[in-house]
Structure 1
Amino acid sequence: MAVQDDSREQQMRDRFNLRVTEDRKRDGIDAFLRIEDQIVNFELKSTTSGSVSTVRDFGPKHIEKWEDLHWIIAVYEKTGKEILKCHYASPIDMAPWIDGKRHYVMPDVVLGQDIASKLTSDTAIKIFGGRTAPYTKEDAKWIMKNQWSAAQYKEAMDETDGYSLDRMTEMLQLRCSYLMARGSTLNNPHIERTFVDQLPLLDEEEPAISLRQYVRNYLLSASATEDATA
């Protein structure tokens, strides 16, 4: 994360009295608050131009992560130091944008899944030049590269210090899915200014109180919907 982006996120957390987990990782949740006995997670974004940059390689994992998050989008003046206004977006508010991106990448995702499922043990034998099981940890690393941790390589072993033909075939399918998923990503899709402008504005005088009121209204609405459909 760029220092400037990190500084802006901290400024937003301070403004809205939000918290961050101590063990937060690079792709983790930006901030959270506890309200109505619930933990509400937030994605924090900022812009100086109106449109909002998201992530470099946007794909299915981001869709899965973002569709349940609440968002705060801070609009800064041109130097990026002073906040001019902040927009709030509930999961329902963000759904049209996220659904649009899901629709865009879906053909590539389905292609990747179908192709991976068609890989067979013959594929594994062909890749290893006619050699069959047992396969070694070095063989597995040749296929999976840095996609797996040391613990995952050990857990996947189904032979004594190695892997069967069936397990190696499964690994090839996983690797194929991973590679195809990378190919189905979008390069930093922006949230358009027209979309941002129609999102609710948070009160500048009492930003933390305003945010919590929006969140409470969303939680009440979501609860009412669940009760009506139960």
Structure 2
Amino acid sequence: MSTFQDDEREDFAIELFKLEKDLTEGRSGVDAYLNYKGKRIPFELKSTSNGSVTTVRDFGYEHIKKWKDKHWLIGIYKNRNIDHFLYGSPKRMQPWIQEKEHYILPDFQISKLVREKIELKDLFKILGKKEKYLYSDARILHKRQYSMSQYMDSMDLKGGYSPERMLNILKDRAEYLMERGSTLNNPHIPKSYFKDWVKIEKDHSKLLREMVGREL
């Protein structure tokens, strides 16, 4: 499915269910919000034409943390037309998320252990031994994983970094590389996972709010 189709379906669901679209262009990690009795409830919006639901390309521990408290709204399409929607509360989604967490958690624990094993001598092998490292050294090491402000804020010497501070950046880089290798490539939620879920086929906005209310 193209990104354009995804966006069209997402906008359709937002309008149909009277949700509030996230205006931060995805930076918040929330597709839309449901305003319910003074609460702003985050939603993940998905759609499928073949039963199973795709998630994200590089599914990692950040997604697990992000999705644990989210509500899900899934559009089921047939012949390019909407057939019905499914609502998944955090409790409903918990078994699938926990299954993925158990699968990748050891890899992330390994990355933390590796991080703590890195020493100054390892830094010297990579960047050479210096009394002060420059921004260019840090950028070569950690690439675009820090913003400019993060690089500047990390400086503990005038115009640069001490070996100890650069060691922390090296550890961040090692952890990032390890965690990248610990992601899953677009894990699917199987059609069978939704077999007992109630279909939303009419009174969409009203029914969704009733279902959410029972979960709060």
**Short-chain TM bin:** over 0.9
Distance in 2, matches of 1:43 and 1:66, equals 8
**Structure 2 SS opposite 1:92:** helix
- What is the 5 A alignment of 1:59-74? 59-74=60-75
Off by >3 Å, runs of 4+ in structure 1: none
The CA deviation at 1:118 is 1.1
Q: Which residue of 1 aligns with 2:117?
A: 118
- The residue type equivalent to 1:94 in the other structure is M
- The residue type equivalent to 1:123 in the other structure is D
Distance in 2, matches of 1:28 and 1:98, equals 16
**Structure 1 SS opposite 2:58:** coil
Q: Which residue of 2 aligns with 1:138?
A: 136
- What is the 5 A alignment of 1:34-49? 34-49=35-50
Q: Which residue of 2 aligns with 1:100?
A: 99
- The residue type equivalent to 1:119 in the other structure is I
Distance in 2, matches of 1:142 and 1:37, equals 47
Q: Which residue of 1 aligns with 2:25?
A: 24
Matched, 1:216 2:182: no
Q: Which residue of 2 aligns with 1:185?
A: 183
Q: Which residue of 1 aligns with 2:58?
A: 57
Q: Which residue of 2 aligns with 1:205?
A: 202
Distance in 2, matches of 1:23 and 1:183, equals 28
Q: Is the 8 A contact 1:93 1:199 kept in 2?
A: no
- TM-score between the two structures when normalised by the length of structure 1: 0.90
Matching residue within 168, 172, 175 for 2:173: 175
Q: Is the 8 A contact 1:89 1:200 kept in 2?
A: no
List alignment gaps of at least 5 residues for structure 1. 220-230
**Structure 1 SS opposite 2:21:** coil
**Structure 2 SS opposite 1:73:** strand
The Cα RMSD (Å) is: 1.2
The CA deviation at 1:27 is 6.5
Distance in 1, matches of 2:145 and 2:3, equals 25
Distance in 2, matches of 1:119 and 1:107, equals 19
Q: Is the 8 A contact 2:45 2:73 kept in 1?
A: yes
Distance in 1, matches of 2:140 and 2:203, equals 56
- The residue type equivalent to 1:211 in the other structure is L
The CA deviation at 1:28 is 2.3
Q: Which residue of 2 aligns with 1:228?
A: none
Give me the identity figure in percent: 41
Distance in 2, matches of 1:134 and 1:200, equals 62
- TM-score between the two structures when normalised by the length of structure 2: 0.96
1:159-183 Cα shifts (integer Å, max 9, x gaps):
0100001101100111111111100
List alignment gaps of at least 5 residues for structure 2. none
Distance in 1, matches of 2:109 and 2:197, equals 32
- The residue type equivalent to 1:87 in the other structure is L
Q: How many residues align?
A: 215
Q: Is the 8 A contact 2:132 2:161 kept in 1?
A: yes
